[in-house]
Structures are given as C-alpha cells and as structure tokens.
Structure 1
Amino acid sequence: MATLAGIATVATEANSQTGFYPRTRIFVRSEFAQLRTAIVAQSQIRLPDESFLTEAQWNYILSFLPQESIPLVKALRGHDLSEVDSGLQKQWEQERANLAQLLQAHRVEVLRPDLLTTEQKLAGGIAGYSNSFVRDPWFTVGNNVIEGALRFPHRRLEVLASRSLMDSRVYPASCSYIAAPQPDAVPLPSPPSTTSVDNSPYIEGGDVLVVDRYVFVGLSGLASSKRGVDFLRKHLGPQGYIVQPIKLAPNVLHLDCALGFIRPGLIIVHAPALLEGLPPQLRGWERIDVTKDEAFELATNGLPISPYVYVTDPAFKHIGDRIARKGVKVEYLDLRVSRKLGGAFRCSTQALWRE
C-alpha cells in the first residue's frame, strides 16, 4: 500500500523530470485556478433538417447568434459544415489545433475527444449531430465529473465523443462520475410565448461556473433548466456546495456568454443579461463591462489559464487592454469560426484539473 510520503516522492520526481504535475488528478477548484489538464474540442457539426423544427423554433434558437452568423447557420440545416464549406471546416479545425498549441505552451496537458463515428452520426437521424463545444455535454466541479443533459437535439449524443476519455482518465481517478437523467423526447426549446411545458433536467456546462464552493448556473430557457439545478443540488449539496441559479435574458444561450471570471475579484460581464443582477457573492468584485454587441460576439467567453494569464480573441483587443491594466497577461488567438458557430474559448475547452 502506498504511503503519503511515497506519493509525495513520486510527485516530486515527476515534477523535476518533466516540469509537469503527474496526470492522475481530477479536480476543478475554480474558473481561474491554474489550468493543468484540459480537453480541446473537435470540429464536427450537422444541424437538424429544416423541417425538424417550426419556423418559430428556428427563430428562437437563432436569437442568441449575431446577425452575421445566421446565414451560415441556416445553410447548415441538414448538412455537415464540411459539405457546406470545406475551407471553413479546415479553418475551424486549425483554430482548435492552435488553441491546443497555446495551452501546451503554458504547460497545460491537452487531451482531445474522439471523432464521431459513422454510426454515432447516423444515430442522430434528422436531428443532426455535434462534436464541437466540449464544454457543454459534461463538466467537472471539485472532484465530481458530471455528464449533463443537452436541450438541443443535435447535441444530445455529443458526450459519446468523450467516453474514451472517461475510460482512460475518469474511471482510474479518485473522483465521482455521474450522469443527469435523460431529458424528455421534445424537439427544442419553445419560445417563451408558447404554453409548452418541459420539466426535463437540462444541465449544460456552459451554464455552470465554479468558484470554490459556489456553483453558479445560468437559466435562460435555451439550455439548462430549473430541474437541472435541482439535480446538481441533489448531488453537490451534501458535499457543501452552494448551487446558485442566475436568471438570464431569453436570447443568451449560456451563462458564460454573459459572465466570465478572470482572476479572484475580477469578472467580465454584460450585466443587463443577468435579469436579477449579479449574485450577492459577486457584487463586490471589480468588473470589466462589455456591451450587448460584444457579448453576442462572445467577449465574455475567454479562458483563464491561471489568475495571471487570460486568453481572448484579437477582435477584443480593446477589452484585453483593460484586462491587462489589472495586472493580467492577455494572450490572443483568432477563434472567428468557432464564434460564428456560437462558442469561443471556454466553450471549446473542458477543464479536468484546475488547482
């Protein structure tokens, strides 16, 4: 049986030989704790057939995108991006490769999900498929790995691409691993003006932001649901976590599209999207405020590598300059294709170890 002293010796030797921590730990303390192991997304997407949804439903789910993204998204209905624009597909793949290289340059271990198989794509049927934003289908809080339940039907099976990572990294680690109950067989979120009711436990990683024992969860109607919050509380509450819902404007997909953490005491936020204001725990923090248009372009969806290094897009250089004045080094990487498709740096990564 290994002793604590023996484990410490192994860790010390690993550090001295490689400069890295041993890769057996799964734990996320906060959004800005030192990033040590991260998954970088693949780039596969096919939206549902146009006839799969009503016009009102399509308009509702398009409401969270900037206007310049809408023609591309409409063209993807019933088609894989590689069929619609092979050049754009290659640019998207290169963005993720560049992101992986940037993280590795900061001594972050980078893992990748599998590509979807033909059978997995076919399983989506006319609802389509996605393997594009690894943040959402599962997430980590403390030493809890949690598979979510996604509201959009083309994303329902997205977690399958990460299952080999669960086998190789999660099962051997000292952590829990649970999955949310399956959602009901409904097509998509309906506009708020309709009378449809869906009590499914949707919970998506883009809505879940962790700061020590606080777990903030966004609720806009497009992604996570109250029942999803109940599911998180059921599992995390006994461990001492406080799960705090944040009501979002109905055209905000996820909480990280309106609120982001940079370092302790500093956030980036589009405050009007938080319908009841910032939660009390964050009201004393310094703020970098962004406009509605900047939020739609995903200005809040940067990625802290540590409390001292933050990654964002060169499109937000003017915001990065404000962040740099707070004593944080800002790294820039072009993620324009990812942003066209509704996600940026946080959406494109999944932290396994932040501590």
Structure 2
Amino acid sequence: MIYVENEYATLKRVVLAASEFGYARKVREDDLRFLPPASVSDVEAHIGMDFSEAHPEKQRRWEQERLDLRQVLEKYGVEVLHPRKLTAAEKQAAGDDGYANFFVRDPFFTIGNCVIEGSMRFLHRRHEVLPVRNIMNTEVLPADCTYVATPQPAIAAPDDTTLGEGPFLEGGDVIVLGDTILVGNSGLASNAAGAAWLKKFMGKYGYKVEMVRLSPNILHLDCALGLIRNGLMVVCEEAFIDGLPAYFKDWQKIRVTMEHATMLATNGLPVSPEVYITDPAFSFIGEQVAAFGIKVEYIEFSISRSFGGSFRCSTQPLLRKG
C-alpha cells in the first residue's frame, strides 16, 4: 500500500537515503547561502572530488548515521527501503555540476496515494531521482496508486543565476496536512511554477495547495518548521515572509531562532504521534517535546546536517497512516 495521510501519522514504510556526494567543478556561490561557513569552505576546497575520497573518515561516520537511523526506525516496526548507488556512467554524465544521492526527501514525494517525482533546481541534484527508480519499479508501479513526474525544468542561460523558470518542485518544500498541501518557496528550491503545477494536478484529487514564501537563506519549508503530532510543531517563525500559514493558528509551538533553523533544528522526524527523532544537538527541543509525553530518540547526525539536511530530508515515506 502507498499512502501518506500527513506528516505525523504512524510511519510504516520509508525510503532511507544513501550517502553519496560529488563536489562540483564550478561552484555557484549564491546557491551555498543556506550552508554553514565550514561547509561552504569545504565545497570550495574540494572541487571535482568525491566526498568519500576527500573525507574517508567523515564518509564512514555519515554512513553510520544513516545506519543508526535505520536501526531506530526498525525498532518501531518501520520497513526501510534503500535507493541503489549511483553508477559510474551517472557520475560521469554529471560533468562539472557534481552529483548527489544523499537526501531522498527531495527528488520524489508522496501525497495520499500519489507518488510524484520532483523537479530539482540545483544542477548537481537534477538526476537524483535515478537511484530511486529501482524502488519505483518494484514498489510503486505494482501498487494501487498514481505515479507521475513533475515537468522537467527549462534549460537556463549559462549566466542565469536563477537557473531558469523551472518548474521546480522539491519534497523538502512539500508538507502534507490531510487535504491541505503547503509548498515552500525561498528562491533556492521549489518555485511558483512548481507550486502551480502541483495545484493543478492535485486539485482533481480534492487537495488544496498553498505556496509559502520563505527567507532566502532557508533551503526548504521543512528547514523552517517540523510537525511533531497534530497540534504540536517546532518552528522558526522569522523564516516566514508572510507569517506562519493560518492552518497553524491554534497549534502549540516550540520556537527556534533562525540560527537554529539553519542548523536543521526543525528537521526532526516523527515516527508516530508518540515517538520523535532529533539530534542531541537539539536536546533543548527534545526536552520540550518530551514534556508533552512523547518519547524522544536522539541520533547524532552532524555529518548529514553539514550537507544542509537532517532526518526528514534523509527519509521519504511510502506509507504513513493511522
């Protein structure tokens, strides 16, 4: 069964990201503005290298982080699936742009019983859906669900810093709230054209789609808010240009600063309304979550976070229900 009811229903089946990254040979400084300074310096220092070659010890720790996440998920009965690794041909085809197979949340996403391949803005992520196609073939195609792809983005002029008109639509920007869907737009990932396409497609299934404008230093909507259970969220309110969506007016809020948001403080992962995963770096959030009677699992995730993503970014649910 393929179905995602909302962000906090019990997680039963999930795709967990691989840990592959290739540095670009041409660095676009403006597209690094969401990263911490140490990560920007690292990108500039390892032009054209594979991360595993540049940092073998960090690569080992990165893979261990994902293994630790898998073990916690399986402890709660979650079935965990994995993308395949990038092929040599796929890495070569990336050319000067670099390559990525590291945050499975973004290249596709699940709304209800619709599985949608996204359209990525960053050049090094344009083909990141390819390693997930094995799961599409074995798990999605045979299922009673809709499977569709966002239109591929337009080709931009070499000097176009916006990377063109898109449409861009990435899973980190897509928040599922029953029949209401929020789509973030900071200028770094999803854009208005992507949100408009999703509104047209999902409208026929009875969904309402609302675009949410974000601070230009926030990569995705899930870097500004995280839903823990119905009525409870962790949020950086200053990241919302037009204020927090009205949907959350009556929700209880664990508030974080913009500094914490850029460290991925909101990007935890609810396993169910009773269990929440976060990094020990955010124990101050975990303590507030626990005060609501929710079990908090802590997993060290600093290497993953150095790439600009955390627990939600590293997972894509196929079944979240009940």
Aligned-partner Cα distance in 2 for 1:170–1:151: 24
Tell me what 1:90 maps to: 60
Q: Normalization by structure 2: what TM-score?
A: 0.97
CA RMSD of aligned residues (A): 1.5
Give the distance between the partners of 1:181 and 1:200, measured in 2 at CA: 8
Report SS of the residue matched to 2:168.
coil
Question: Equivalents in 2 of 1:325, 1:68: separation in Å?
Answer: 34
> Hey, what does 1:17 align to over in structure 2?
none
- Residue of structure 1 equivalent to 2:9: 33
SS at structure 2 position matched to 1:246: strand
Unaligned runs of 5+ in 2: none
Q: Structure 1 residue 71: deviation in Å?
A: 2.1
Distance 1:87 1:189, change over 3 A: farther
Q: With the length of structure 1 as denominator, give the TM-score of the two structures.
A: 0.88
- Counterpart residue type for residue 310 of structure 2: A
Unaligned ranges ≥5, structure 1: 1-24
Structure 1 281/190 Cα, relative in aligned 2: closer, same or farther at 3 Å? Answer: farther
Q: CA deviation at 1:326?
A: 1.5
1:57-103, CA deviations, whole angstroms, 9 ceiling, x for partnerless residues? 41x22211122322223234311101111111111111111111110
Shift of 1:228: 0.2
| Deviation (angstroms), 1:292 | 1.4
- Give 1:80's match in structure 2, choosing from 31, 45, 50: 50
For the residues of structure 2 that align with 1:140 and 1:189, how far apart are their CA atoms? 34
**Which of 248, 259, 265 is matched with 2:214 structurally?**
248
Q: Kindly tell me: are residues 173 and 144 of structure 1, through their superposed partners in 2, closer, same or farther at Cα, counting changes over 3 Å?
A: same
Contact persistence 2:157–2:164 (CA under 8 A): no
Residue 182 to residue 116, structure 1, CA distance change in 2 (3 Å): same
Instruction: Trace 1:1-355 onto structure 2 (pairs within 5 A).
Output: 25-49=1-25, 52-53=26-27, 57-58=28-29, 60-186=30-156, 198-355=164-321
Give runs of ≥4 in structure 1 deviating > 4 Å. Answer: 187-191
Q: Classify the secondary structure of the residue corresponding to 1:202.
A: coil
Q: 2: distance between equivalents of 1:117 and 1:237?
A: 37
Amino acid at match of 1:110: V
> What is the distance in 1 between the residues matched to 2:59 and 2:157?
27
The percentage of counterpart residues that share the same residue type is: 48
8 Å Cα contact 1:218-1:247 kept in structure 2: yes
Contact 2:105 2:171 in 1 (8 A): yes
Structure 1 counterpart of 2:270, which letter?
P
2-side partners of 1:245 and 1:77: how far apart?
35
- Tell me, yes or no, if the aligned pair for 2:121 and 2:163 is still in contact at 8 Å: no
**Contact 1:75–1:84 (8 Å) recurs in 2:** no
Question: C-alpha separation between the residues in 1 aligned to 2:297 and 2:247?
Answer: 28
Please report how far the alpha carbon of residue 190 of structure 1 lies from its aligned counterpart in structure 2 after TM superposition. 6.2
User: Does the CA-based 8 Å contact 1:202-1:224 persist in structure 2?
Assistant: yes
Q: Name the CA distance, whole Å, in 2 between partners of 1:37 and 1:46.
A: 28
Measure, in 2, the Cα distance between the counterparts of 1:190 and 1:289: 36
Q: In structure 2, how many angstroms separate the alpha carbons of the residues matched to 1:189 and 1:297? A: 30
Q: Distance in 1 between matches of 2:271 and 2:89?
A: 36
Q: Distance in 2 between matches of 1:94 and 1:293?
A: 26
Tell me which protein shows more helix as a share of its residues.
1
Shift of 1:187: 7.4
